[in-house]
Structure formats: C-alpha cells, structure tokens
Structure 1
Amino acid sequence: MDAPGGSLGWPWAGAAARALLPAALGLLCVPALGAAGALLVFSGTLLIFSAARPPAALPAAGRAVLITGSDTGIGHALAKYLDNMGFIVFAGVLNKDGPGAEELRRTCSQRLSLLHFCDIVMEIVMYLKWSPCLFSSGLWGVVNNAGILGFPADGELLPMSTYRHCMDVNFFGAVEVSKTFLPLLRKSQGRLVNMSSMAGGIPLPKYAAYGASKAALSMFSGVMRQELSKWGVKVAAVHPSGIQGTSELWDKQEKDLLENLPAAVRSDYGDDYLQELKSYLVRLPAHCDADLSPVLKDVLHALLARRPHGLYTPGKGAYLPLCIFCYFPVWFYDFFISKLFSAEPVPRVLRTAEAGNGNL
C-alpha cells in the first residue's frame, strides 16, 4: 500500500466495473463450467481485483481514532499499527496497568493515549474538550474491536449466560460506543469500523453464541452504512477468518457450562465428548493465522480510502466459505462445512446407536 496522503482514487465507473465484473464472469461461466467452475472463476477474478486495490487517499496525520479492546490481539496490534502510520490513537483497554497497556506505553509515540474502557466515554470527551490543538478533525474514526469468544461448544450445551455475555460485549457494547460517538463522527464525516467475524457471516458449528452476536453486529453495520451515508459517514464491517480467545476466559466459560448442564443432556453427550471440546480449544490457535497484517491493512483502508468497502474479509480463504454460503444451495454449504469439521467427536448416545446398528 502506498503511503497515505496520495490523491489517487477509483472513479465511480471504475469502481462499479470492478465490483460487477467478477460476478458477471462467474455467471457467464455457469453454463460451460457448472456452479463449481463458475465459483472458481468468480473467486479468482475477485482475488485479482483485491490485489489491485487502490492506495488509501486520505492522510493519517492529525486524524484521531478510538480503538476498543486494545489489551491483546487485533486491537493491540492495530493500536501500534495506526500509531506508526501517524494517527492520534485512543486505545481503550480493560487493564491500564496490564502487560498490553504497558507495551503500548513503551513502544508507541506520545500521540497514543490509553483509556480505561469503563471510563472511555468521559475520558475521550475530556480529550476533545481540552486538547483541540492535538488534532484538527475532531474524532475521525471509531473501531469497535472489543469482543469475547466464549466457550466454543454445541449450542445446546451452552448456558444462557454465555449467549447473554456474548451479546452484551460483542453487540450491545459496540452499539453503545457507536451511539455515543456518532455525533462526533457526523461532525467530522468520519468512519465507523466494526470488527465482526467470519462466524458472523456464515453459520459455523460450535459458535452459536459468538456467531449470533457477530451476525447482529454485521447487520447493525449494514444498516448504519445505509443510514449514515447521508451524513458523509462511512461504515465498514471486517470479517477476519481467525477466531481467537484467551485460556482464562475459556476456563471460566467451561466451569459455567458444566455447572449449568442438565444431567440428562450431559449423559447423552458423554463426558468424553465434553473433554474433546476442551481439546478443540487447545488446538484452536493453530488454525488462526498469526499474521495480522491483512486485517490491519483492511482497517487502514476502511479508515482512509475515499470509497471504503462495506465488508472486508481478510485472511486466507476467508471469502470462499462466504461465497459458497451465498451462491450455493444450503445443503451444499452444510456438506462443505461437515467435511471441514469431519474430525469432530460423536456424542455418546449416537456412538451407542451406531454400534447397535453395526451389530444388526
């Protein structure tokens, strides 16, 4: 990506052509290549145009951006990345004395300010009131990154507290932050970026609570994108392909799951099945790409491009499951996902039934 501040941008006609050409080519190839071949053509054309994405056109210097959930993970990396690009960064953290906050203090410039998440509204309003000399455009961007994964498990096993907690943090928290700062974003004609997830765009096993909360956030982003366009505010949703969590949170969620699980349900699934869920958590980080640069670059594009996309899907192969879900029959998508999760354990009752059928 070229340095921010250039004047390049796609003309409207060029942008429309780039958006429609992959779909048009895919549809034209259906009679000759079938649905699978057309999907490959569509995906390949899309990748070509994605690689040719124009450089961000707006300058970063003097633009203030609030990022929630900056203690670890994407939010932490994004705070450092945007600080390095020249933004004035308000990094919201849960623990101002934690290792993530200390690293931001040590490695970032004086432009970065740490804000305690519980007091984030009051603190940033005070910064805007008393430090107007720090930046010329008010608050330019809000990145709703704070979120929790919960305990990945079958939806039947998850306690209602997990569903409520995921919705409180991943959806209601982002909505509250957005509503609080939208008057400032309308004034600056700035950007609202919501960090959703691939699980928020397509159904994935074991992510009923997490996926539902992220799907709500994605829908909120889409509606806000339409409604705020008249104010000049651009809204984008980012769907990274890696789903991450922390072991401390998993331990607490596991305890809640086991304590609230009805005895009959626990018997049907079996304790060995529940143990396999914990093994799945241990293996989960191996499926997450450690390279966060595609996510960071997409957020930068959403913040600075003159015509940002409404949806970003960073990560290897992140767009393919979404295409299959959108353009293929549901049964084909379910078959595709079942093959991806083919190594999943089988509940005790179903294993017993299979064994009984095999003895007939």
Structure 2
Amino acid sequence: MTLIYYSCLPQFIKLVTDMHLFLMCLFVWGIDTGIGHALAKYLDNMGFIVFAGVLNKDGPGAEELRRTCSQRLSLLQLDITNPTQKVQNTGVLVYPSLWGVVNNAGILGFPADGELLPMSTYRHCMDVNFFGAVEVSKTFLPLLRKSQGRLVNMSSMAGKLGQVPNAFLVQELSKWGVKVAAVHPSGIQGTSELWDKQEKDLLENLPAAVRSDYGDDYLQELKSYLVRLPAHCDADLSPVLKDVLHALLARRPHGLYTPGKGAYLPLCIFCYFPVWFYDFFISKLFSAEPVPRVLRTAEAGNGNL
C-alpha cells in the first residue's frame, strides 16, 4: 500500500496543481546544503509553494536553488541566532494557508569527546537545534492550527532521545488537528573544511593539561575518521525525501520515520534492550575511533609487563 501511495503521489499533486484547485504552502528552513537543500528542490518539483529559510542568501546553495527551482520557491534569509533575522520578519506569516513546517536546520558540532568541547559549542547547538526549532514551531503554530496542518522535525540517530519532547508535541497538538512527525535519517554529514574550523575553535579553548592527555594526533585521527565515515553511509537521500513527503501528506502519518541504511537498528536496540547492551553495541560500532595519547601509553606499558 505504501509503494502504491508513493508512486501515485507525484501525479496527484501535479494534477491538483495544474487544475489550480489549491497550492500547499510549506515553510522549510536549513536548506543551504545536505538534506535540506535536496528537500527544497524535491518539494518545489512536487508543486508545493516553498518558503525556504537559508542561512546565507548569497551562498552557493541559495544560488543553485534560484537557478534550478521554479518561481514558487522563495528564499528567505534566516539566522535563528541573529536577533535581526527572526522568522517573524520573513513575511511568511501573512500567507493565509500555511500547511506544513519542516524544522530541518541543525548544527553538527565536532563530535569529539565531551570534555574537549568548549561551552560555546554546546550553546550554539542548543540555540539552533533546540531553541531554534521551538521558536519556529511556536511562531507558525497559529497558522498550522488553522489549517490543521503538519509539523515535521528533522533529527538524527544521535538525537534519538529528542523523541521524548516530540511525543509531548504529538499529544498537545492532536486536539487541534495538527499532526507531528519526527524524521531520524541515518548517517553523518560533514566536510574537511567544517571540521578544520571547529577543530581550530576547540584547540583554542582547550586547557593545556587536557590537550596533553588526549594529544594533538588524537584530534587529527578523529577528524580523518569523521571525514571517512560518510563513505559507509547511504548517499541516496530519496528515502528521506519520500518520508518527509509522507509525513506532510499522508492521512495518518507515522510519528517517527527512520529512513536510510542502518537507521532503524540502533533505535530498536535502544528502545527494547538493556542500556548496557546498547552501550556495548555503540562501542563496537565505533571501535575504529582513535585512542587518546595517555591511554595508548598506558596500554603500551601494560604490554611490556
């Protein structure tokens, strides 16, 4: 049934659009690169009116969308951490028939050990990934309640615990007819340039003793490991895009989607197995990670005994 639904959906949307019966309006933010960028193109191609919040309106991602998308897509400058670029100033609120909001923007901080990360990294991640999503959702909920539309929160397998507040939203908004879904794609996205900048910020704030214990080569090996990691993930974004579309249009959307290779298994283990087994599974999954300098020295010393 799901395959039939997906195969018929593009023709249905095109038919309705061509007949001018209605045009569904969506707000999607975080579309400069990655999933958000592909999602903006996909939804525009499906016939939606897309208001796309972009961090850099003059960046390469925005320029490509201008070149490849229809005039239905509107690019909006939006840095949720900048007080002068609040979502209330984008003009979307005057549009009377907003059907869906996709909270896609997210900060992928340097996934090093928590001890190494400066507090500014934690604060920035919370400002965008949590408070940003809350602010955008609260801003548009009056329109979503009016349309009885959809709220879709993009997360990751690393943020599976975020499903708890999402469950509260499901309960709170169901009485208004608004359906809420969370999408947890598999994989990790990042580039060498991204890690270079974040590594520089990390080293500038790292206490000398901690830096000595871990060793500079530890961070270099970790960055190399992170850059290689996407090669082991599914580069095909179509399962993610189709799941978002299903969340936006299905009569009974799922509360949680886990598209992509290997996305569902860790969640199942976390939900249905003891915590110690989940910890063991994760440790084996990331067994190729580098080892801090002090621990390597200790292991070498024990080996000589």
Q: TM-score normalised to the size of structure 2?
A: 0.80
Work out which of the residue numbers 160, 165, 169 in structure 1 matches 2:124: 165
Offset at residue 161 of structure 1 (A)? 0.8
3-state SS in 1 of match to 2:175 = helix
After superposition, what is the alpha-carbon deviation per residue over 1:55-114, rounded to whole angstroms, capped at 9, x for unaligned?
xxxxxxxxx000001111111111111111111111111222222112212211121111
- Report the alpha carbon displacement of residue 341 of structure 1 after superposing the two structures with TM: 1.2
Give unmatched runs, 5+ long, in structure 2.
Answer: 9-24, 77-96, 161-170
In the alignment of these two chains, the number of paired residues is 258
Q: Give the drift of 1:299.
A: 0.2
Q: Secondary structure at the match of 1:335?
A: helix
- Distance (Å, rounded) in 1 between the aligned partners of 2:118 and 2:153: 26
CA RMSD of aligned residues (A): 2.7
Alpha-carbon separation, structure 2, partners of 1:279 and 1:241? 20
Q: Give deviations 1:213-245, integer Å, cap 9, x for gaps.
A: xxxxxxxxxxxxx10000000011110112213
Contact 1:273 1:346 survives alignment (8 Å): yes
**Is 1:175–2:120 an aligned residue pair?**
no
Distance 1:175 1:139 in 2: 17
Shift of 1:50: 15
Taking a change above 3 Å as real, the CA distance of residues 100 and 335 of structure 1, as seen in their structure-2 partners, is same
Q: 1 CA distance for matches of 2:6 and 2:47?
A: 28
Q: 1:97 to 1:48 in 2, by over 3 A?
A: closer
Q: Which residue of 2 aligns with 1:318?
A: 263
Give the 3-state SS of the residue equivalent to 1:332 in structure 2: helix
1:74 is matched with 35
Task: Specify whether residues 72 and 235 from structure 1 end up closer, same or farther in structure 2 by C-alpha distance, changes over 3 A only.
Answer: same
User: Is 1:152 aligned to 2:111, yes or no?
Assistant: yes
Q: Is the 8 A contact 1:186 1:233 kept in 2?
A: yes
In the other structure, the counterpart of 1:59 is none
> Distance in 2 between the 1:97 and 1:274 partners?
33
Q: Which residue of 2 aligns with 1:132?
A: none
1:282 Cα deviation (Å)? 2.1
CA drift of 1:48 comes to: 15
> Separation in 2 of the partners of 1:259 and 1:189?
48
Change (3 A) 1:302 1:48: closer
Query: Is the 1:240–1:315 contact (alpha carbons within 8 Å) kept by the matching residues of 2?
Result: yes
**Partner Cα distance (2:6, 2:132) in 1:** 34
- Structure 1 residues 246 and 275: alpha-carbon distance in aligned structure 2, compared to 1, 3 A threshold: closer
| Corresponding residue SS for 2:180 | strand
Q: Is the 8 A contact 1:269 1:347 kept in 2?
A: yes
In 2 relative to 1, CA 50–85 (structure 1 residues): closer, same or farther, beyond 3 Å?
closer
Query: Cα offset for 1:246?
Result: 4.2
Change (3 A) 1:48 1:328: farther
Distance 1:69 1:48, change over 3 A: closer
CA distance in 2, matches of 1:114, 1:48: 30
Contact 2:109 2:121 in 1 (8 A): yes
Identity %: 95
Distance 1:294 1:162 in 2: 30
Check conservation: 2:52, 2:73, Cα contact below 8 A. Answer: yes
TM-score scaled by structure 1?
A: 0.68
Give the 3 Å change call, closer, same or farther, for CA 139–246 of structure 1 in structure 2.
Answer: farther
1:249-297: CA deviation from partner (whole Å, max 9, x where unpaired): 3222111110111111111111211211221232133133221000000
- Measured against aligned partners, the alpha-carbon deviations of 1:134-190 in whole angstroms (never above 9, x if no partner) come to xxxx00000000111011101111111111111111111111111111101001000
Q: Distance in 2 between matches of 1:256 and 1:277?
A: 15
Change (3 A) 1:68 1:106: same
Gaps of 5+ in 1: 1-44, 52-63, 116-137, 202-225
d(CA) in 2 for partners of 1:172 and 1:238?
A: 18
- 3-state SS of the aligned residue for 1:254? helix
Runs of 4+ more than 2 Å apart: 45-51, 245-252
Q: Distance in 2 between the 1:353 and 1:50 partners? A: 58
In the alignment, the residues of structure 1 paired with residue 144 and residue 302 of structure 2 have an alpha-carbon distance, to the nearest angstrom, of 63
